[in-house]
């Protein structure tokens, strides 16, 4: 197989999975709303259960729910009947996941869970199945086909089940009024938590550590200043502490390619006027957005307050643990 054929196969799989999700939109009905309300009104946790690939999907769904304000625990259907049912508390709702709707291990749980007064939500690929008939709420995760070459490997079906779990989590987030601050509380470690919990002012470099020169300073002077305080950029001040421009290492390199006498070049000639800036009170995530959500990424931002220079923040500072 040549490269084009391999790429074509990959594109076909992605399109098939995307089409399965798009087609499922029409099947959303009152059962979806009922599932959300059942989970929302329960004061305790919910259980997520499945076997095989459906079990792996269930683990992801439970993790997403737990991280977005809905306490959830994944339980393998086989382990459930061998002691793990002890985790249940009265009326904990259960999400059972099965493409066929006839997974024996899940079917064995239904009468047991009903004794726990658990509302059972089935996420199935076959509505006319034992699980489709016996569970309290049924979510339709049926697909016309799988995306693999032989048509039997869980691909479209698992992707749709994952998407349906995300839909439940997002609907619950909205209904609970779940905020970025709430999300940050559940993600205190790693870069995600760092971006949400810390502000620009927590990691920025203060003015004393930044190269700050006037528009009338020569290019030589700014090179010296940036060498003494190597943060990748120099703030250009109007003389009253207010930012009027920015010169980066890239600006210096481009200038050196076209100018032989750097003493004849003023900072005002090569600076970026009215550069993109960020507030010291902004979350790190805002600085990341400003620097990365653009075709030409920025590696450094001036930090200002009412136009006054407060410092510099580099992308390196944000990702440094």
DSSP 152-184: -SSSHHHHHHHHHHHHHHHHHHHHHT--HHHHH
pLDDT at 166: 98
Average pLDDT, the chain: 92
pLDDT of residue 264: 87
- Looking at residue 189, what is its pLDDT? 65
Residue 260: per-residue pLDDT: 79
pTM higher than 0.85, yes or no? no
What's the mean pLDDT in 292-309? 90
Instruction: Return the pLDDT at 212.
Output: 95
Does residue 182 register a pLDDT over 90? no
Q: In this model, does residue 227 exceed pLDDT 60?
A: yes
pLDDT for 294? 79
Work out whether the CA dihedral 63, 67, 70, 72 comes out positive or negative. Answer: positive
The pLDDT value recorded for residue 80 is 84
DSSP 313: E
Instruction: Dump pLDDT digits (tens) for 134-166.
Output: 999 999 999 999 999 999 999 999 999 999 999
Mean pLDDT confidence for 15-41? 96
Confidence band, pLDDT 50/70/90 cuts, at residue 310? very high
User: Mind listing the domains of the chain with CATH numbers?
Assistant: 3-178 (3.40.50.10490), 200-319 (3.10.580.10)
pLDDT score for 293? 81
Residues 309, 237 contacting (CB under 8 angstroms): yes
Backbone φ, ψ for residue 26 (5° rounding): -65, -20
**46-91 pLDDT, tens per residue?**
999 999 999 999 999 999 999 999 999 999 988 887 888 889 998 9
Using CB atoms within 10 Å of the CB of residue 159, give its burial: 0 to 12 exposed, 13 to 18 middle, 19+ buried. buried
Average pLDDT of the residues in 115-133: 95
Residues 95, 47: contact at Cβ < 8 Å?
yes
Among 86, 91, 90, smallest CA distance to 75 is for: 86
**Tokens 């009253």 sit at which residue?**
240
């Amino acid at each position: 197989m040549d490269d084009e054929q391999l790429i074509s196969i990959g594109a076909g799989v992605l399109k098939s999975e995307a089409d399965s999700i798009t087609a499922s939109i029409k099947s959303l009905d009152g059962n979806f709303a009922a599932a959300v309300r059942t989970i929302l009104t329960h004061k305790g946790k919910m259980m997520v259960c499945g076997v095989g690939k459906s079990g792996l999907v269930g683990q992801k769904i439970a993790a997403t729910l737990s991280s977005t304000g809905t306490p959830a625990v994944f339980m393998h259907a086989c382990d459930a009947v061998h002691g793990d049912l002890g985790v249940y508390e009265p009326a904990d709702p259960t999400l059972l996941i099965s493409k066929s709707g006839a997974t024996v291990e899940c079917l064995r749980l239904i009468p047991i869970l009903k004794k726990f007064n658990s509302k059972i939500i089935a996420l199935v690929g076959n509505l006319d199945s034992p699980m489709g008939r016996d569970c309290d709420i049924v979510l339709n995760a049926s697909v016309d086909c799988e995306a693999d070459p032989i048509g039997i490997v869980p691909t479209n079906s698992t992707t749709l089940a994952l998407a349906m779990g995300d839909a439940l989590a997002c609907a619950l987030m909205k209904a609970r009024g779940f905020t970025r601050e709430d999300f940050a509380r559940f993600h205190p470690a790693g870069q995600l938590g760092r971006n949400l919990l810390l502000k620009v002012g927590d990691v920025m470099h203060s003015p004393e550590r930044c190269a700050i020169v006037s528009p009338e300073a020569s290019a030589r002077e700014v090179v010296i200043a940036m060498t003494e305080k190597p943060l990748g950029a120099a703030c250009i001040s109007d003389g009253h502490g207010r930012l009027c421009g920015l010169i980066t290492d890239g600006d210096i390199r481009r200038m050196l390619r076209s100018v032989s006498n750097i003493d004849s070049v003023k900072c005002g000639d090569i600076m970026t006027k009215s550069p993109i800036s960020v507030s010291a009170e902004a979350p790190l995530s805002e600085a990341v957005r400003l620097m990365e959500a653009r075709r030409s990424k920025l590696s450094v931002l001036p930090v200002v307050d009412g136009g006054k220079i407060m410092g510099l923040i580099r992308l390196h500072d944000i990702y440094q643990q």
